[in-house]
Amino acid sequence: MSTIAPVIDFSKCSLNKNEDEINDEMRMVTGKNLYEGFTSSGFVYLKNHGITQERIDGVYKAAANFFALPLEEKKKSYVGKNSFGYDPVGALKVNSKKDFDFVEGFRVTGDAFDDEETKWPNLTLKKKYEELAESCKFLVLRILRSLGLAMRVKDLDSFCNCHSLMNKKGNLTQLGVTSYPPVYEDIVRANRFRLAPHVDWGTMILLFQDNIGGLQMKQSNGEFADVTPIPGTIILNVGETLQKFTGGRLTARVHRVVPPTDPNKQRLTRQTTVYFGHSNKDFPFKSFEFDDDLNNKDFLTEYEGMTTGEFMNMRLTKALHY
């Protein structure tokens, strides 16, 4: 299958291995492959990652059952405290110059995972989200350590440990399932996006696609290309915070979701699961130092002096419309 990005084999650092089975040589090889993939394409497919399909499917099914409820029932879980809950169609606008995004979702942040007062719609949804979030956390940490080692970040421990609170209070890492309703001819004719062109804001993003497709990444020539779903893989994408951390060595890539051109697929619901990895809220929004011959590039310098939590809240406030 021809793809616009490399498929990286993560088996040397897979979650199927215990931490003491992985050495720095294995991390270095894997990290170099990741770095080369990110710098050549902006994102990569990851295979042999170690997250079971059963765990991925469990979240898909539990979320699909929730989205199938009547709107009034779903609104009982309307997003509120700790950025937890249901986002109806029209709530999200990731690009301020475009229409509201044609998508609904259910999202959970670390603050909500770590709060006993969080009111989940049902216990099945809670269990499935918690299981997948835990796997994603450990996968992100292994990715960052491999990548940081290969990129020769001077303070590797800080580069990784600033993510220590993922899925807990003090960190805005988020697991969300988005459901894209069927589209109709007027939307296709108007070329309305299911999700407008945008970049992600965190550090490392894990995307689990279904087989409907529609995700496109902007290429260096300015054109958008399809990110074809590949069974068994996760799409890894760099966010703005990681671009800042790496001094521009990695860049956040613009992407969008468009309606399918196949009329049969237009009548189907597209569903994706995304784990938005973030550093801890109180960590500075800054560039790390690297033991290489490259210079850090200026990027979002107007936000220096902020914490990453402050930066994220600013981005989130602009994107949500209630």
In the prediction, which pLDDT does 270 show? 81
- Which band of pLDDT confidence, cut at 50, 70 and 90, is reported for residue 101? low
Percentage of the chain modeled with pLDDT above 90: 57
Residue 269 has pLDDT above 50, yes or no: yes
**What is the band of 258 on the pLDDT scale with cuts at 50, 70, 90?**
confident
Q: For the whole model, what pTM was predicted? A: 0.91
Cβ–Cβ under 8 Å, residues 235 and 278: no
**What confidence category does residue 27 fall into, taking pLDDT thresholds of 50, 70 and 90?**
very high
Mean of the pLDDT values across residues 281-298? 92
pLDDT higher than threshold 50 for residue 116:
yes
* pLDDT tens-digit series, residues 73-93: 998 888 766 678 888 876 555
- Is residue 234 very low, low, confident or very high in pLDDT (cuts 50, 70, 90)? very high
Average pLDDT over residues 149-174: 96
Domains of the chain: 7-319 (2.60.120.330)
Q: Is the pLDDT of residue 47 over 70?
A: yes
Q: Pick the residue with more confidence: 225 or 31?
A: 31
- pLDDT of 13 over the 90 cut: yes
Contacting residues for 46 by C-beta, under 8 A, at least 6 apart? 7, 8, 10, 143, 233, 234, 235, 236
Report helix, strand or coil for 92: strand
The β-bridge relationship of strands 204-208 and 215-218 is unpaired
**What strands lie across the sheet with 85-87, from one edge to the other?**
7-9, 43-47, 234-238, 204-208, 270-276, 174-180, 104-109, 85-87
Which region among 97-101, 162-166, 223-227 has the lowest average model confidence (pLDDT)?
A: 97-101
**Amino acid residing at 267:** R
Q: Is residue 212 scored above 90 in pLDDT?
A: no
Phi and psi dihedrals of 115, rounded to 5?
-115, 115
Q: What stretches of the chain adopt beta strand conformation (E)?
A: 7-9, 43-47, 85-87, 104-109, 174-180, 195-198, 204-208, 215-218, 224-226, 234-238, 255-257, 270-276
pLDDT at 37: 95
- In terms of Cβ atoms closer than 10 Å to its own Cβ (0-12, 13-18, 19+), residue 68 is exposed
pLDDT band at 216 (very low <50, low <70, confident <90, very high): confident
HSE-CB for 95 with a 13 A CA cutoff: 17
**Token duo for residue 160:** 């990784």
Q: What is the mean pLDDT of residues 143-148?
A: 98
Predicted pLDDT of residue 321: 47
Mean pLDDT for all residues in the chain: 88
| Residue 132, φ and ψ in degrees, nearest 5 | -70, -40
In contact, 285 and 307? CB cutoff 8 Å = yes
Contact 94, 199 (CB under 8 A): no
What percent of the chain shows pLDDT beyond 70?
Answer: 89
